[in-house]
C-alpha cells in the first residue's frame, strides 16, 4: 500500500467503486480505495439489483439514465459481465392522483430524451399478463428498466478503475482521518497511514462512523429492507421471454423475474430503522433475521395484484440494511466546514444512481463544479441544525412513503415542528398552514375561518385557493405583511469587503445607503446565486438570498474568502417583516421615529437605519411582491415587538398577514424569477434575464466573467419567456413540456395562478430565435396540451409605477 495519494476513497461498495472509476475516467490516476472487508460488503452484495429512471427530480432522472447506459460501456472496457437484463418495466396507477403523477413524469421525459409512454389497463395486461388489473387506471412504461448482478457490476467498476491506474486495498479498516494544516488528510489504517490530498467518504452503512472520525455528522440511517424470492412458477418460466419489472406503488412493492421464479420486495409501513446508534464494524456479509410479520399486509396485497404468488413457494428471504438520507436522495459533494473532504453517502438506489453520482463527484473534485445542478443531492442541503433526533423520524417517513404519490404541494409531517421563529405561536394562533424550508417552519397561507389548517395534497388547485386569493387582494388593495425569516442573510465586513464582493458578484456593488440585485456565478458562468447586496458602509454589507441555500452559499463564500474580509451567516439572528401594497408607505410613516419615508427621501432601492417602536431596524425599499413595499430587518429578539407595533398601527389600513402561496402568486404578476426554478446552476444569466443586472464593464475580474462574455458575444440558444395559459383546474408547477409546431421545443421552470389578474401563468424556456409577443404554443399539463400565449409585458403595473413610486 502506497503512503501518498491524491484521493483516498473509503468504502468498496458500488458507489465507492463508481467514484474511483470516474476519477480515473476524468484523468486522475493517483487514486486509491480502502475497504475494511471485501468489495460489496455492506449493502451492495444483498441488493435486489434493480434499476430504473423514474425520479421526480429531473436531474436525478437524467443521471439515472446515464447510470443505466454506462453498464454496457463498463462491459466493453473490462470484458466483465454486469449481468444486465434490460427487460423494461411498468409502474402501476390505481388512483387518479397516482395516474396524474405518472402523466406528469411522462411529460418531463419528453424533453429529457427518455422513451417512456403511458399504458391503459389492457396494455398492462398484454405487457405483464400476471397482473390483476382490477382497479388499475393506467401505467407508465420505461424500456430502460431492468436488473443486474450487483457483485459483477461492482467488480466491473473496480477493474475499470484499476485499468485507469487506481489502487484498491481490501481487508484494511480505516481507523482515523486527521486534517493537516495544508488541507490534506492523514488516513490512518490497520496497514499503515496514507497522506491524501482529498478524502471521499463512501462508507455506506458505516458512513456515519467514518464521518465522525472527521468530526462531522452525516444525516443518514440504515433501514432494514426485505425481499422474497419464490420457487419456480410455470407462468414465468414457460412464457418464452423474461418477465418485465412491475412496480405497484399502491401495494408498496416491486417485482421482477429471478431465475424461474419471481423476486418481490416491499416498502412496508411498519418498517424498522437498523443500527440507530451506530453500525457495528464487524457487520459485513450477514443478513438480518427474517421478519415476515412486518410485511404481512403487503404480501396479502401482492397476492391480490399478482395471484400467481399465492401458489408459489418461498425459496429464500433476503433481509438486509441499506442507507437513506432524510429525503431519500444521496448526500454528495464537499462537506461544509471541512477542506478537501467529500461525501458519497446515502445512495440508497445504488444501481440506478451510482454511476451518475460517481460522475458528479469526480467532476466536482476535478473541475470545481458539476455539469448538472447538484442541489437535489448536495450534502449541504442539510445544515448544522440536523441531528439524529431529526434524521431518524424523517428517514422512517421517507421509507414509508417511498412509493407514495409525490404531490407538488405536499408538506410531510415527521420531525415537525422543529425550527421555529419567535412568531410561530402568534401565527399558529392565526390559523397558519405551515410549510418548511431548510428545517424552518414557514407560513404557506392562513386558513379562513371554518377551514382546516392543512392543505390537501394534489396536482390540481387545492383548498388553499380562496385564502390565497384573499391574501393577494389584501396586498394589491391595501397592505400585507409577511415574515422575512426565510431569507438567507449574510454580513460581510472588513477593509476589503467591497473589492471581494466586486469579484464574487457579477453586478454593481452599490454605494452606501443603496442596494443592488446581483447574480453570483460559478467559474463556468452558471448561476450560483441571486442576491440583494445592500451597502451599509464602505466596510459593511448585507447580502440576502434564498434561506434554503445557506449551506451552499456559505461553502462558496468560505472557499473564496480573502484577507481583510469576514463573512457571517446571520440568517437566524436577523429577521423581520416585509410590508407591501399601496398603503405600505403610510404604515411605515406611522411607526418610524423622526424620519421622512416619502418617495423623494426614501427612494426605490434605498436602505436606511430606522427606529420602529423601540427596535433598531434596517429598512430596504424593495419588494418581491412587485408592489410598493419595504423589507424591515431587526434582531430576532425584537421581532415580536416589531410585529406588535406594525400590527396595531396597520389595522385601519386593512393590514393582513400573507404567506408564501400568495407571495408566489404576486411575483407572477410581474414574472419575477425564483431561486431554484428560473435561477439555478443549470442556467446562465443571459438565458434567464439576469444579465440585465451584470455590470459588464466593471474593472473587477469577477468569477465567471470570461464564459459570460463569450455567451454574450454569441447569444444564448434559449431564453426564458412568459406565458398566459388556458388552464383548467390545474396550473403549471415546473418541468411541463412546451409544444411548438407539433414538437417539444422547451419546458416550464415554474408557474401558477395570478389571483390578481385572474389568469394562469407559466415561465419557461424556448429557443431564443422563436420568442415573440403573441406566439401561440401549447403546454402539457397532466397529459393534456393546453393552449398558451407568449407575452412580453408584465400582467400588472407594466411600467413599475407602483413598485418604484
> Is pLDDT of 777 > 90?
yes
Q: What percent of the chain has pLDDT over 70?
A: 100
**First CA to last CA distance, the chain:** 70
Cell of 558: 468560505
- The pLDDT tens digits of the residues spanning 248-280 come to 999 999 999 999 999 999 999 999 999 999 999
Please tell me the distance from the alpha carbon of residue 179 to that of residue 182, in angstroms, as a whole number.
8
> Is pLDDT of 113 > 90?
no
Please tell me the distance from the alpha carbon of residue 702 to that of residue 697, in angstroms, as a whole number.
11
Backbone angles phi, psi at 520, to 5 degrees: -115, 125
Give SS3 for 480: strand
Strands 515-521, 527-537: pairing is antiparallel
Angle value at C-alpha 181, between 16 and 338, nearest 5 degrees = 45
Q: How confident is the model at residue 563 (pLDDT cuts 50, 70, 90)?
A: very high
pLDDT value of residue 76: 96
pLDDT value of residue 45: 79
In angstroms, what is the C-alpha Rg of the chain? 27
Topology, domain 704-803:
Elongation Factor Tu (Ef-tu); domain 3 (2.40.30)
Cell of 424: 410561530
What is the model's pTM?
0.95
Cis peptide before 417 (omega within 30 of 0): yes
Q: Using the 8-state DSSP alphabet, how is residue 769 labeled?
A: G
Backbone angles phi, psi at 363, to 5 degrees: -60, -45
> Is pLDDT of 109 > 90?
no
- 32: CB partners within 8 A, 6+ apart: 1, 2, 5, 7, 8, 9, 20, 166, 167, 168, 169, 194
Backbone angles phi, psi at 765, to 5 degrees: -90, 140
pLDDT value of residue 364: 98
pLDDT value of residue 662: 98
> Is pLDDT of 56 > 80?
no
Q: Which helix (DSSP H) or strand (DSSP E) does residue 198 occupy?
A: strand 192-201
Q: Pick the closest to residue 233 from 253, 255, 254, 257 (CA basis).
A: 257
Q: How confident is the model at residue 486 (pLDDT cuts 50, 70, 90)?
A: confident
Q: Pick the closest to residue 617 from 593, 599, 585, 651 (CA basis).
A: 593
Residue 609's Cβ-count burial label (10 Å; 0-12, 13-18, 19+) is exposed
Contact predicate 75/82, CB 8 Å: yes
Neighbours of 330 (CB within 10 A): 32
Domain segments of the chain: what residues? 4-324, 487-571, 704-803
Across the range 760-771, mean pLDDT stands at: 98
Which DSSP string corresponds to 338-403? STTEEEEE--SSHHHHHHHHHHHHHHHHHHSS-SS--TTTBGGGS-TT--HHHHHHHHHHHHHTTT
Q: What percent of the chain has pLDDT over 90?
A: 92
Please tell me the distance from the alpha carbon of residue 126 to that of residue 409, in angstroms, as a whole number.
35
- The pLDDT tens digits of the residues spanning 690-726 come to 999 999 999 999 999 999 999 999 999 999 999 999 9
CA dihedral sign of residues 330, 332, 336, 338:
positive
- The pLDDT tens digits of the residues spanning 282-303 come to 998 889 999 999 999 999 999 9
Q: Pick the closest to residue 727 from 778, 763, 688, 791 (CA basis).
A: 778
Contact predicate 133/82, CB 8 Å: no
Please tell me the distance from the alpha carbon of residue 289 to that of residue 136, in angstroms, as a whole number.
35
For cell 432601492, what's the residue? 605
- The pLDDT tens digits of the residues spanning 337-388 come to 999 999 999 999 889 999 999 999 999 999 999 999 999 999 999 999 999 9
pLDDT value of residue 586: 98
- Integer CA distances (angstroms), 277 to 205, 225, 273, 348, 625, in order: 12, 18, 10, 19, 47
Strands 245-248, 89-93: pairing is parallel
Q: Which helix (DSSP H) or strand (DSSP E) does residue 432 occupy?
A: strand 432-437
Which DSSP string corresponds to 209-250? HHHHHTT-----EEEEEEEEEE---HHHHTSSSPPPEEEEGG
Across the range 73-87, mean pLDDT stands at: 94
Q: How confident is the model at residue 114 (pLDDT cuts 50, 70, 90)?
A: confident
Please tell me the distance from the alpha carbon of residue 618 to that of residue 410, in angstroms, as a whole number.
34
The overall longest dimension of the chain from CA atoms, in Å, is 89
- The pLDDT tens digits of the residues spanning 324-351 come to 999 999 999 999 999 999 999 999 988 9
Please tell me the distance from the alpha carbon of residue 546 to that of residue 674, in angstroms, as a whole number.
9
Give SS3 for 487: strand
Please tell me the distance from the alpha carbon of residue 744 to that of residue 347, in angstroms, as a whole number.
32
Please tell me the distance from the alpha carbon of residue 544 to that of residue 620, in angstroms, as a whole number.
11
pLDDT value of residue 42: 85
pLDDT value of residue 168: 98
> Is pLDDT of 233 > 90?
yes
Mean residue pLDDT of the chain comes to 95
- Integer CA distances (angstroms), 553 to 386, 476, 786, in order: 17, 33, 38
Contact predicate 379/429, CB 8 Å: no
Cell of 793: 409585458
Query: Which CATH number is correct for 487-571, 3.30.70.1400, 3.90.226.10, 3.50.4.10, 3.50.50.60?
Result: 3.30.70.1400
Cell of 760: 394562469
Please tell me the distance from the alpha carbon of residue 106 to that of residue 125, in angstroms, as a whole number.
20
Of 23-37, 62-76, 178-192, 614-628, the one with minimum mean pLDDT is: 62-76
The residue that leads in pLDDT, 752 or 58, is 752
Across the range 120-133, mean pLDDT stands at: 95
- The pLDDT tens digits of the residues spanning 61-76 come to 889 889 999 999 999 9
Beta bridge partners of 343: 201, 333
Please tell me the distance from the alpha carbon of residue 340 to that of residue 187, in angstroms, as a whole number.
13
Q: Pick the closest to residue 218 from 354, 326, 59 (CA basis).
A: 326
Contact predicate 435/444, CB 8 Å: yes
The set of long-range contacts for 527-530, using a CB threshold of 8 Å and a minimum separation of 24, is 527/679, 527/680, 527/681, 527/683, 527/684, 527/685, 527/688, 527/690, 528/553, 528/556, 528/681, 529/553, 529/556, 529/675, 530/673, 530/675, 530/679, 530/690
CA dihedral sign of residues 731, 737, 738, 742:
negative
Q: How confident is the model at residue 634 (pLDDT cuts 50, 70, 90)?
A: very high
Which DSSP string corresponds to 678-747? TBSTTS-HHHHTGGGGB-TT-SS--TTHHHHHHHHHH--SEEEEEEEE--SS----S--EEEETTEEEEE
pLDDT value of residue 44: 83
What is the CATH architecture assignment of 4-324?
3-Layer(bba) Sandwich (3.50)
Beta bridge partners of 772: none
Cell of 302: 401482492
Q: Pick the closest to residue 55 from 108, 93, 11 (CA basis).
A: 108
Please tell me the distance from the alpha carbon of residue 305 to that of residue 250, in angstroms, as a whole number.
10
Cell of 715: 447569444
Please tell me the distance from the alpha carbon of residue 80 to that of residue 93, in angstroms, as a whole number.
37
Cell of 519: 447574480
Contact predicate 23/7, CB 8 Å: yes
pLDDT value of residue 400: 95
> Is pLDDT of 119 > 90?
yes
pLDDT value of residue 467: 98
Amino acid at each position: 500500500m502506497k503512503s501518498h495519494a491524491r484521493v483516498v476513497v473509503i468504502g468498496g461498495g458500488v458507489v465507492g467503486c463508481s467514484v474511483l472509476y470516474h476519477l480515473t475516467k476524468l484523468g486522475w490516476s493517483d487514486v486509491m480505495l480502502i475497504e475494511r472487508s471485501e468489495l460489496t460488503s455492506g449493502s451492495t452484495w444483498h441488493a435486489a439489483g434493480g434499476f430504473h429512471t423514474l425520479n421526480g427530480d429531473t436531474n436525478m432522472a437524467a443521471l439515472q439514465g446515464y447510470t443505466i447506459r454506462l453498464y454496457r460501456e463498463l462491459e466493453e472496457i473490462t470484458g466483465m459481465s454486469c449481468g444486465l437484463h434490460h427487460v423494461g418495466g411498468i409502474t402501476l396507477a390505481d388512483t387518479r392522483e397516482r395516474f396524474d403523477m405518472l402523466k406528469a413524469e411522462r411529460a418531463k421525459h419528453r424533453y429529457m430524451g427518455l422513451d417512456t409512454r403511458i399504458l391503459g389497463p389492457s396494455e398492462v395486461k398484454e405487457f405483464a399478463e400476471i397482473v390483476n388489473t382490477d382497479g388499475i387506471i393506467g401505467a407508465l412504461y420505461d424500456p430502460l428498466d431492468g436488473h443486474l448482478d450487483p457483485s459483477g457490476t461492482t467488480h466491473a467498476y473496480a477493474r475499470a478503475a484499476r485499468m485507469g491506474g487506481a489502487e484498491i486495498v481490501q481487508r484494511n479498516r480505516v481507523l482515523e482521518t486527521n486534517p493537516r494544516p495544508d488541507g490534506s488528510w492523514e488516513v490512518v489504517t490497520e496497514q499503515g497511514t496514507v497522506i491524501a490530498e482529498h478524502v471521499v467518504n463512501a462508507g455506506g452503512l458505516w458512513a456515519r462512523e467514518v464521518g465522525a472520525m472527521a468530526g462531522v455528522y452525516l444525516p443518514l440511517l440504515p433501514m432494514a429492507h426485505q425481499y422474497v424470492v419464490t420457487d419456480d412458477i410455470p407462468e414465468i418460466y414457460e412464457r418464452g421471454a423474461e418477465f418485465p419489472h412491475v412496480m405497484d406503488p399502491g401495494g408498496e412493492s416491486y417485482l421482477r423475474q429471478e431465475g424461474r421464479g419471481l423476486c418481490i420486495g416491499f416498502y412496508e409501513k411498519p418498517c424498522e430503522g437498523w443500527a440507530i446508534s451506530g453500525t457495528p464494524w464487524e457487520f459485513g456479509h450477514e443478513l438480518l433475521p427474517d421478519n415476515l410479520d412486518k410485511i404481512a399486509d403487503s404480501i396479502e396485497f401482492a397476492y391480490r395484484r399478482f395471484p400467481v404468488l399465492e401458489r408459489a413457494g418461498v425459496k429464500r428471504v433476503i433481509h438486509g440494511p441499506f442507507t437513506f438520507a432524510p429525503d431519500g436522495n444521496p448526500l454528495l459533494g464537499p462537506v461544509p466546514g471541512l477542506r478537501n473532504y467529500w461525501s458519497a453517502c446515502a445512495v440508497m438506489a445504488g444501481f440506478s444512481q451510482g454511476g451518475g453520482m460517481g460522475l458528479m463527484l469526480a467532476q466536482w473534485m476535478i473541475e470545481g463544479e458539476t455539469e448538472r445542478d447538484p442541489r437535489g443531492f448536495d450534502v449541504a442541503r442539510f445544515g448544522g441544525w440536523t441531528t439524529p433526533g431529526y434524521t431518524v423520524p424523517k428517514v422512517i417517513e421517507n421509507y414509508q412513503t417511498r412509493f407514495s404519490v409525490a404531490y407538488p404541494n405536499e408538506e410531510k409531517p415527521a420531525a415537525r415542528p422543529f425550527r421555529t421563529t419567535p412568531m410561530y405561536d402568534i401565527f399558529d394562533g392565526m390559523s397558519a398552514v405551515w410549510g418548511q424550508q431548510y428545517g424552518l417552519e414557514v407560513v404557506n397561507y392562513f386558513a379562513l375561518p371554518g377551514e382546516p389548517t392543512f392543505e390537501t395534497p394534489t396536482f390540481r388547485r387545492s383548498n388553499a385557493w380562496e385564502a390565497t386569493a384573499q391574501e393577494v387582494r389584501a396586498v394589491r388593495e391595501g397592505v400585507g405583511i409577511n415574515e422575512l425569516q426565510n431569507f438567507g442573510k449574510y454580513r460581510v465586513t472588513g477593509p476589503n469587503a467591497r473589492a471581494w464582493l466586486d469579484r464574487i458578484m457579477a453586478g454593481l456593488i452599490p454605494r452606501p445607503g443603496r442596494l443592488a440585485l446581483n447574480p453570483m456565478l460559478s467559474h463556468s458562468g452558471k448561476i450560483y446565486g441571486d442576491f440583494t447586496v445592500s451597502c451599509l458602509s464602505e466596510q459593511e454589507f448585507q447580502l440576502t438570498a434564498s434561506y434554503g441555500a445557506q449551506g451552499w452559499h456559505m461553502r462558496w463564500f468560505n472557499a473564496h474568502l480573502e484577507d481583510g474580509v469576514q463573512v457571517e451567516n446571520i440568517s437566524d439572528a436577523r429577521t423581520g417583516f416585509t410590508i407591501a401594497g399601496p398603503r405600505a408607505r403610510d404604515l411605515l410613516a406611522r411607526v418610524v421615529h423622526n424620519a421622512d419615508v416619502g418617495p423623494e427621501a426614501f427612494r426605490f432601492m434605498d436602505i436606511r437605519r430606522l427606529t420602529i417602536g423601540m427596535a433598531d431596524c434596517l429598512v430596504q425599499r424593495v419588494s418581491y411582491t412587485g408592489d410598493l413595499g419595504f423589507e424591515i430587518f431587526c434582531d430576532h429578539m425584537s421581532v415580536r415587538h416589531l410585529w406588535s407595533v406594525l400590527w396595531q398601527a396597520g389595522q385601519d389600513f386593512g393590514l393582513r398577514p400573507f404567506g408564501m402561496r400568495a407571495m408566489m402568486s404576486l411575483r407572477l404578476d410581474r414574472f419575477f424569477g425564483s431561486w431554484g426554478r428560473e435561477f439555478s446552476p443549470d442556467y446562465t444569466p443571459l438565458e434567464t434575464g439576469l444579465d440585465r443586472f451584470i455590470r459588464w464593464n466593471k474593472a473587477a475580474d469577477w468569477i465567471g466573467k470570461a464564459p459570460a462574455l463569450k455567451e454574450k458575444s454569441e447569444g444564448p440558444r434559449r431564453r426564458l419567456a412568459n406565458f398566459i395559459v388556458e388552464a383548467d383546474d390545474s396550473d403549471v408547477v415546473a418541468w411541463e413540456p412546451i409544444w411548438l409546431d407539433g414538437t417539444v421545443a422547451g419546458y416550464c421552470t415554474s408557474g401558477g395562478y395570478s389571483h390578481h389578474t385572474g389568469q394562469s401563468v407559466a415561465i419557461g424556456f424556448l429557443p431564443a430565435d422563436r420568442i415573440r409577443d403573441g406566439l401561440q404554443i401549447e403546454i402539457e399539463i397532466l397529459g393534456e396540451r393546453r393552449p398558451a400565449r407568449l407575452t412580453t409585458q408584465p400582467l400588472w403595473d407594466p411600467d413599475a409605477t407602483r413598485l418604484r413610486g
